[in-house]
Amino acid sequence: MSNRMWGGRFASGPAEIMADINASIDFDKRLATQDIRGSKAHAAMLGQTGILSAEDVEAIVAGLDRVAGEIESGEFAFSRELEDIHMNVESRLRDLIGPAAGRLHTARSRNDQVATDMKLWMRDAIDGIDAQLADLMQALAEKALAHADAVMPGFTHLQSAQPVTFGHHLLAYVEMIRRDRGRFKCARRRLNECPLGSAALAGTSFPIDRHATAEALGFTRPTANSLDAVSDRDFVLETLAACSIAAMHLSRFAEEIVLWTTPQFAFVKLSDAFTTGSSIMPQKRNPDAAELVRGKTGRIFGALQGLLVVLKGLPLAYGKDMQEDKEGAFDAIHTLSLCLAATAGMVRDMEPDRDTMRRWAGAGYATATDLADWLVRVLGLPFRDAHHVTGRIVGLASAKDVGLEELSLAEMQEVEPRITPAVFDVLGVEASVRSRTSHGGTAPDNVAAQARAWLDRLGKE
């Protein structure tokens, strides 16, 4: 039997394999709410413009509400023969209200319908992700405030560089997430133009009011070009790019959690709630959640990469290839949401080991820059010379296998005779972080003020 939605010029039905390759209902049924919302707005507009009678519109809207109810309660029978959510809904509407259902598709196509559905879905998805990003910022800022003065090693090249504070380190991620939220916000703003009424590709000869449907669905305006409207999936790409960058940030943090929770680093502890054991090694406490946040990043990048490849060779306008935008996008949003929840949970759960972090903060001559700065400030050496002198003093300490502050004044004076006992004031890690008062620096007072400012801002959102 040929397809009852579009089978007019077909003599027989599709090959069996078509149900598998062509049908999208298994994954696009999650667009049901958006699809019905779009159809109701479209029907109302067809009524307002006199294209449909008031009775037809009433029957259609009531019927769509019933369909929505059936889907919500789980009694709706999705059919793969009907390919996708659009035709499943319309077909059921015809069962319920008869021929008036066939008038709903006046002046539209599945091409503008699916683009509209995806935009509606993406908007909600972005709002959900944004709320989770804000929650993660909150968790980080709270923890940062509690440990604004906890000294830890700061690394470059993963080598001890200069001491920083744990709060400062956490607030670095707050800044990244602030930019992530900006990216989602921009993507949302740009996608918020309504494709509905672009019809298949060329627009329609019916006197529709696209401004009315755009407004009814909460879009800023209708899209300006019908060919673009049905072909555009860069709103999906842009959202996936924002997801990818956010996931990359989460993955870097997850990697740090993995490192920090090793017995070798032992900078932070995760409670039993966020660790798992080994089935053979009784001593193990594995940071599985952090590893999975790191690992799941791959699927999110994959969704972005996959869709870029799908779209890159497509001539205008719609092509069925575009149906491939959905599974990756749904999965990426779901995955990012999971990762955000797990990360916020770990942040709230983690307890830094302040003593261990402090002990390691000075390791590897991490206050050498403070010594060089002192030579510049107090003795008036050019920084390059101070760098050289400090290098020699570090070499001396390293040869003796002691820290900088464990050298005697006489030993330092062998390298630079004008050094005074006051130098010892700058060699400790607390003094080092306290001195970093420049805008954005790691001084504990700076960090606490930043954390408070963030908490204040987030509280007002």
Annotated catalytic residues are 157, 278
Q: Please tell me whether residue 204 binds ligand ARG under the rule CB under 6 A.
A: no
Least Cβ distance, residue 22 to ligand ARG (angstroms):
9
- Contact between residue 238 and residue 190 where contact means Cβ atoms under 8 Å apart: yes
Using the minimum distance from each CB to ligand ARG, give the nearer residue, 291 or 331: 331
In the complex with ligand ARG, the residue whose CB is nearer, 110 or 188, is: 110
Report d(CA 230, CA 228) in Å as an integer: 6
Rounded Cα gap, residues 295 and 306, in angstroms: 18
Q: Considering only residues 26-55, where is the footprint of ligand ARG by CB under 6 A?
A: 28
User: Could you say whether residue 303 binds ligand ARG (CB under 6 A)?
Assistant: no
Closest separation in Å from C-beta 339 to ligand ARG: 26
Q: Which is nearer to ligand ARG, 122 or 451 (CB)?
A: 122
Of the pair 157, 320, the CB lying nearest ligand ARG is at 320
Is there binding between residue 24 and ligand ARG (CB under 6 A)? yes
Angle of helix 326-349 versus helix 110-146 axis, rounded to 10: 10
Is 162 one of the binding residues for ligand ARG (CB under 6 A)?
A: no
CB of 237 to ligand ARG, least distance (A): 15
CA quadruple 136, 138, 141, 145: dihedral sign: negative
Query: Token pair for residue 155?
Result: 């690394």
The enclosing H or E element of 156 equals strand 151-156
Site for ligand ARG contains 390 (CB under 6 A):
no
Is the dihedral angle over the CA atoms 138, 141, 147, 151 positive or is it negative? positive
Give the CA diameter of the chain: 101
Query: CA 387 to CA 240: how far, in whole Å?
Result: 45
Give 130 or 228: the residue with its C-beta nearer to ligand ARG.
Answer: 228
User: Is the dihedral angle over the CA atoms 440, 446, 449, 451 positive or is it negative?
Assistant: positive
Among 34, 39, 88, 111, binds ligand ARG (CB under 6 A): 111
Stretch that binds ligand ARG, among 74-82, 214-222, 307-315, 317-325 (CB under 6 A): 317-325
CA distance 447 to 461: 21
Find the shortest distance in angstroms from Cβ 314 to ligand ARG: 12
Question: Is residue 323 part of the contact set for ligand ARG (CB under 6 A)?
Answer: yes
User: By CB under 6 A, how many residues form the interface with ligand ARG?
Assistant: 10
Tokens of 46: 């067809």
User: Cα–Cα distance between 228 and 222 in angstroms, integer?
Assistant: 12
In the structure encoding, which two tokens stand for residue 247, read together? Answer: 């996931």
Site for ligand ARG contains 389 (CB under 6 A): no
* Side chain identity, residue 109: S
- Minimum CB–partner distance for residue 316 and ligand ARG (Å): 14
Of 61, 114, 187, 214, the one binding ligand ARG (CB under 6 A) is 114
267: tokens are: 């900078």
CA-only gyration radius of the chain, Å: 31
* Contact flag: residue 198 with ligand ARG (CB under 6 A): no
Please tell me the distance from the alpha carbon of residue 155 to that of residue 153, in angstroms, as a whole number: 6
Closer CB to ligand ARG, 22 or 435, in the complex: 22
Cα separation, 87 vs 67, in Å, equals 12
Indicate whether 310 belongs to the interface with ligand ARG (CB under 6 A). no
Q: Is 112 in the site for ligand ARG (CB under 6 A)?
A: no
Q: Which residue number, 24 or 297, has a Cβ lying nearer to ligand ARG?
A: 24
- Which residue lies nearer to ligand ARG by CB, 111 or 442? 111
Q: Rounded to the nearest whole angstrom, what is the least distance from the CB of residue 178 to ligand ARG in the complex?
A: 34
Is 239 a binder of ligand ARG (CB under 6 A)? no
Smallest gap from residue 84 Cβ to ligand ARG (A): 4
Among 322, 329, 393, 419, binds ligand ARG (CB under 6 A): 322
What tokens appear for 55 in the block?
Answer: 């009775």
The residues with which 151 forms a beta bridge, in sequence order, are 165
Residues in 78-107 at the binding interface with ligand ARG, rule: CB under 6 A: 84
CA 392 to chain centre: 47
Tokens read off for 110 = 């599945």
Residue ranges in contact with ligand ARG by CB under 6 A: 24, 28, 84, 110-111, 114, 318, 320, 322-323
